[in-house]
A and B are shown apart, each in its own frame.
Chain A
Amino acid sequence: MDASITTLPFPVAGEGTRARTRVDHKTSEEAALVRRVQARDEMAFREVVERYQSKVFSIIFGILRNRNDAEDIAQQVFAKVYFSIKNFDFRSSLLTWIYKITVNECYDYLRKKRVRKLVYESDFSQEDAQRMEASEPAIDGAVPADTRLAQRDLILKLLSKVSEEERSLILLKEVEGHSVEELAGMTGLNENTIKVKLFRTRQKLLRAAGRLTRTR
């Protein structure tokens, strides 16, 4: 399978299909909010925290399935937002930027803890198990929880093999459910560029999976 995958590129941006969605992130209401945060307006920062905290928590919990550390990582995410927002350049939406920070923090956490298993048994409560079983769409209704944990472990490992940008993009597409058009608007990139990046990321993930299977 792996050998059959070629690295032929998608048509480059502008070739063939159209590039539609362009959002000017510099003039939106969100941009005004960001500028206030950049000027160290605490009320504006509070608004950012309140607007995005549930999203940040759900990203973290989706990746780590660890309630105990989710709050700590979320605090760290917003501290980073506070300290780094001066470097926010309005090329993407604030959510995209925060999303990337959040995913990076999750991977930092995994790296620091040297977690190769997705979930520590001690962190995985009965409630978490029930919640996970009840609410997530399954590939196959009969897949047992430990198999799903192993699968999640595998996909986290594979996602660690691609760049931060590729990781954020594929997660925004598949986990958050954004369309290519929406991603183009959120990132400020051309739709074709988004498609190329997604396709290359998928190829990289397949190759990484092939390597992992061979080494096992």
Chain B
Amino acid sequence: MHREIRDHIEDVLRGGDTPKDAREHLAHCDECQTEVRSMQEQTALIRELRAPADFAEDLHPGFYARVMERIEAEGPISIWNLFIESPFGRRIAVASLALALLIGVYVVTSERAMEDSTIALESQQSVTEQIFVAGEDAPAREITRVDQSQSDESSQDAVLANLVTYREQ
């Protein structure tokens, strides 16, 4: 569209007064004529979105009360509403909860494993201390008996390994 028409397009579409040079240009320019015609058709289509003039007359007793009910029901918009109300937000919330659960399980189980290894280490240390208390001259069998009576099963292997080392030394 040429500038002569472009500058006055709202007036042209409205059918209002346009400057003489714009009218003359439009009378001779096929390109501008075609485009103006398209815009006129488009404008007519947009005007189809007008409501009927009498539409609003039969409105809606109690509307304000219903609006207030809705406002009270919805409450103030918070960041949590985004998660609760939208399906995508709900998915994120569920995924986050699942991830938190997994992390929790991992932390608990790894703490238990650490506790077990600590107990094993402690019992191993107590056996070693007893060996030292019993003295280097004590027979190996006696030391082994002390070990069996005082240490739990999980620490047996570690204790035996220590004994072997002790005897070799």
Contacts and interface: CB of A to CB of B under 8 A. Distances in A.
Contacts of A8: 1, 3, 6
Contacts of B45: 139, 151-152, 154-155
A144 interface: no
Nearest to A77: B67
In the complex, which range does the number of interface residues on chain B fall in? 35 or more
A75 B67 CA distance: 5
Interface string B110-122: 0000000000000
B52 A135 contact: yes
A37 interface: no
Given A4-B31, A4-B34, A6-B1, A53 B60 contact: yes
Chain A binding surface SS class: helix
Interface residues of A, number: 57
Chain B binding surface SS class: helix
Contacts of B52: 61, 131-132, 134-136
Interface stretch (A20-28, A90-98, A169-177): A169-177
B59 A1 contact: no
A197 to B, nearest CB: 11
Given A61-B55, A134-B52, A198-B9, 8 more contacts: A5-B1, A53-B60, A61-B52, A62-B50, A62-B51, A132-B52, A136-B50, A202-B39
Interface of A: 1, 4-6, 8, 10-11, 16, 42, 46, 49-50, 53-55, 57-59, 61-63, 71, 74-76, 78-79, 82-83, 131-132, 134-137, 139, 148, 151-152, 154-156, 158-159, 170-171, 173-175, 180, 195, 198-199, 202, 205-206, 209
